[in-house]
Every structure is written in C-alpha cells, then in structure tokens.
Amino acid sequence: MNFPSGVAAPPSEVDWRRLGERIEQAKALLGTDPLFALAQLVQAEEDANALLDRVMEHAVREARRTGKTWAEIAVATGVKDRQAAWRRWTDRGIR
C-alpha cells in the first residue's frame, strides 16, 4: 500500500520486536544499573506511544476511507465530540 507524502506507514513487526528488545534489555539492567534501566524504559515508553500513534493514524485513515463519520471516530477513540476528533486527525492530512 502506498502512503501519501509525509504519512508514516503503520509499524512493522520489526518495529514492535525492537521495542520488546529494548524493554527486555532495560529489565536486565535493573539489578546492575537501575538509573540507566529507568532511562531506557522511559525511552521505550516514548517509542511505544509513537508506534501506537502510527497505528491509530492508520486506523483513522482506513475508517475515513471506508466512509466512517467523524462522530463515529470520536466515539471509537473516546474523544469529546466529532469536532475534537476532526481537529486531532485533520492536522495529519486526514479528511
């Protein structure tokens, strides 16, 4: 599938595997270097949030492509109303 310019593809299995490896490495460091392990876990959290954001963006694009309304997307994503959903996702070029 081709994605418009500036649109990230959904995360691959490799992306998720790398995240899991980072978490496992951090867990292994807990006994010897807990501060470094903590820093690694914070970075893993940021990476996980970025991956989840890419998955959500892809899901919203697919929902819009298949005719779902902004109100339906708002309900599914737990935002206040359709305007909030529209504002969140149209900044990324989703219409």
- Measured between alpha carbons, how far is 95 from 81 in angstroms, rounded to an integer? 16
So what's the pLDDT on residue 80?
87
Query: In the structure, what pLDDT confidence band is assigned to residue 10 with cuts at 50, 70 and 90?
Result: confident
Note the pLDDT tens digit of each residue in 18-71: 999 999 999 999 989 999 999 999 999 999 999 999 999 999 999 999 999 999
Record the pTM. Answer: 0.74
